[in-house]
């Protein structure tokens, strides 16, 4: 065990928006024993604990009080799954998500390929039930192990326990900030199957004019290709991916909007709700490509807010001011409230919860 807790550590290298902020206390851990010791330290010194993975779904609006724990645990194990032709694979929380996707493909285990190239680590994937190209984490999720921050007790959560929904889970709601996820078990297929229902993927398949049968490896390749074309690389243009969730509105309200905007893309859901792409709403308000000092809306992707380091780099307050401008514009034109997808940390006035309505 080699627990080292440091003070006043810059979190700029630890967040994909490259926002400047400091952790009051910080440790980077690669073992569960160290994690339990760090949590005991936090309890003894009454420090609030914040878990940090790859930092790709955070807005640091200011410094983070208490202890920030960067979990760097590695490794995976597997056993036969409960269903025929399946394998249950357990990844440590600190494993990089995309690296895990590549590992499964190398092993001949299928199901993660549509989620290729999503930044971040395994431990954060259940927090917002990550999803892309027609697959969500919940589709392959079996269970997770976690430690309760307040007590240091180990516990496990089944899929039903996690209450997964669209970019949402128990860990964003009732269990918010209460657990650190240690590992995640996924059920994958040992038979190559592909899910190509998502329209952008279908288009990419058509464009690629593939003659041989489509393999999961090829699907992963195509997903990476689409993502590289559509999304700015955070290591070059700092960003947090989609900044807003796609809003769900009552289907009756969507019908009214469609009378005014017949070209509005809309995706009816089973529960009399309709999902409307946030990018379309933002684009319609003329925000795509705008800049406000060092922050801006990406010129090709209205859902991505960027921190322009060449303009001197932004702080979290500047980024949130731009987000507010977009939310105001969309509200005034469409009467739809956009909800911020990444988690906002370090607001001076914590009562100002900027994530929601
Ligand atoms: C370019 C880009 C594209 C993206 N595309 C997608 C996409 O297609 N689909 C999608 O769903 N998301 C996408 N995202 C968002 C992001 O990649 C995911 O949300 C990812 O799961 C975040 O992982 P992370 O390790 O970086 O989490 P972090 O940003 O470090 O943390 C996010 C939240 O999870 C908590 N957390 C992290 N690790 C743990 C842990 N071990 N235990 C408990 N809590 C923890 C943190 O406290 C924080 O609240 C994208 C982001 C970027 C920058």
Per-residue pLDDT of 254-302, as tens digits, reads: 999 999 999 999 999 988 999 999 999 999 999 999 999 999 999 999 9
pLDDT recorded at residue 152:
96
Q: 45: pLDDT confidence band, cut at 50, 70 and 90?
A: very high
**Predicted structure pTM score:** 0.94
**Which tokens sit at 311?**
């303009």
Ligand 1 site, residue 27, Cβ cutoff 6 A? no
* pLDDT tens, residue by residue, 51-98: 999 999 999 999 999 999 999 999 999 999 888 899 999 999 999 999
What backbone torsions phi and psi does residue 289 show, to the nearest 5 degrees?
85, -5
Mutating to test ligand 1, I would choose from 16, 32, 54, 57 the residue with most ligand atoms within 8 A of its C-beta, which is: 57
Q: What is the mean pLDDT of the chain?
A: 94
User: CATH code for 248-341?
Assistant: 3.90.78.10
167 is catalytic: yes
53, 71 in Cβ contact below 8 A? yes
357 band by pLDDT with thresholds 50, 70 and 90: very low
SS3 235: coil
Catalytic residue among 167, 187, 227, 343: 167
pLDDT at 156: 98
**Is pLDDT of 202 > 80?**
yes
Report the separation in Å between the CA atom of 322 and the middle of ligand 1, taken as the mean of its atom positions. Answer: 21
Does residue 55 line the site of ligand 1, with CB under 6 A? Answer: yes
How far is the C-alpha of 40 from the C-alpha of 302, rounded, in Å?
43
Query: How confident is the model over 325-349, as pLDDT tens digits?
Result: 999 999 999 999 999 999 999 976 5
Percentage of the chain beyond pLDDT 90 is 90
Nearest alpha carbon, ligand 1 atom 17: 119
Q: How is domain 6-71 classified at the architecture level of CATH?
A: 2-Layer Sandwich (3.30)
Q: Tens digit of pLDDT for each residue in 213-260?
A: 899 999 999 999 999 999 999 999 999 999 999 999 999 999 999 999
Helix, strand, or coil (residue 282) = helix
* Residue of the CA atom closest to atom 32 of ligand 1: 57
pLDDT at residue 323 above 80?
A: yes
For 76-208, which CATH class? alpha beta
Nearest CA to ligand 1 atom 20: 120
228 as an active site residue: the answer is no
Question: What is the whole-number distance in angstroms between the Cα of residue 125 and the centre of ligand 1?
Answer: 6
Alpha helices (H) along 52-138? 97-107
- From residue 141, give the alpha-carbon distance in Å to each of 16, 107, 273: 26, 18, 25
The reply to whether ligand 1 has any atom less than 6 angstroms from the CB of 180 is yes
pLDDT at residue 153 above 70?
Answer: yes
- Ligand 1, from 12, 19, 120: best to mutate by most atoms within 8 Å of Cβ? 120
32 in catalytic set: no
Contacting residues for 134 by C-beta, under 8 A, at least 6 apart: 114, 195, 196, 197, 198, 201
CB of 231 sitting under 6 A from ligand 1: yes
Q: Mean pLDDT across the stretch 32-61?
A: 97
The full set of domain ranges for the chain reads 6-71, 76-208, 248-341
Residue 351 has what pLDDT? 46
Among 51, 150, 165, 175, which is best to mutate for testing ligand 1, by the most ligand atoms less than 8 A from CB?
51
List all residues 6 or more positions away from 240 whose beta carbon is below 8 Å from its beta carbon: 16, 17, 56, 57, 58, 59, 234, 305, 341, 342
Half-sphere exposure (CA, 13 Å, Cβ side) for 179?
25
- For 128-186, give the DSSP string: TT-EETTEEGGGTEEEEEEEETTT--EEEEEHHHHT-BTTB-GGGTTTTTTEEEEEEEE
Does ligand 1 come within 6 angstroms of the Cβ of 240? Answer: yes
β-bridge partners, 168: 165
Asked whether 135 lines ligand 1 (CB < 6 A), one says no
64 touches ligand 1 (CB under 6 Å) = no
Q: Is the pLDDT of residue 139 over 50?
A: yes
């Amino acid at each position: 065990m080699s627990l080292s807790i440091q003070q006043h550590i810059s979190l700029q290298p630890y967040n994909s928006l490259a926002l400047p902020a400091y952790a009051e206390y910080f440790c980077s851990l690669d073992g569960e024993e160290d994690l339990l010791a760090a949590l005991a330290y936090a309890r003894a010194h009454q420090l609030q604990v914040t878990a940090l993975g790859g930092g790709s779904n955070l807005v640091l609006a200011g410094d983070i009080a208490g202890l920030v724990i960067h979990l760097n645990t590695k490794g995976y194990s597997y056993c036969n799954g409960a269903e025929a032709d399946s394998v249950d694979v357990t990844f440590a929380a600190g494993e990089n998500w995309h690296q895990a996707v590549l590992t499964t493909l190398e092993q001949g285990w299928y199901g993660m390929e549509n989620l290729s190239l999503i930044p971040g680590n395994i431990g954060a994937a259940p927090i917002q039930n990550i999803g892309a190209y027609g697959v969500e984490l919940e589709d392959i999720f079996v269970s997770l192990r976690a430690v309760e921050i307040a007590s240091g007790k180990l516990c496990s959560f089944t899929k039903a326990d996690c209450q997964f929904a669209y970019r949402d889970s128990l860990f964003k709601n009732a269990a918010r900030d209460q657990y650190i996820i240690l590992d995640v078990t996924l059920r994958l297929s040992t038979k190559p199957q592909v899910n190509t229902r998502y329209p952008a993927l279908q288009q990419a398949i058509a464009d690629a004019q593939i003659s041989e049968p489509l393999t999961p490896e090829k699907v992963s390749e195509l997903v990476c290709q689409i993502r590289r074309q559509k999304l700015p690389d955070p290591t070059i243009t700092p960003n947090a991916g989609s900044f807003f969730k796609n809003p769900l509105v009552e289907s009756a309200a969507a019908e009214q909007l469609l009378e005014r905007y017949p070209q509005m893309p809309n995706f009816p859901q089973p529960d009399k709700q309709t999902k409307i792409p946030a990018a379309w709403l933002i684009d319609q308000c003329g925000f795509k490509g705008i800049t406000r000092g060092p922050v801006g809306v990406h010129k090709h992707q209205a859902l991505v807010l960027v921190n322009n380091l060449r303009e001197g780099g932004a702080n979290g307050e500047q980024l949130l001011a731009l987000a507010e401008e977009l939310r105001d514009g969309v509200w005034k034109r469409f009467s739809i409230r956009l909800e911020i997808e990444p988690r906002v940390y370090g607001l001076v006035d914590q009562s100002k919860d900027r994530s929601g309505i």
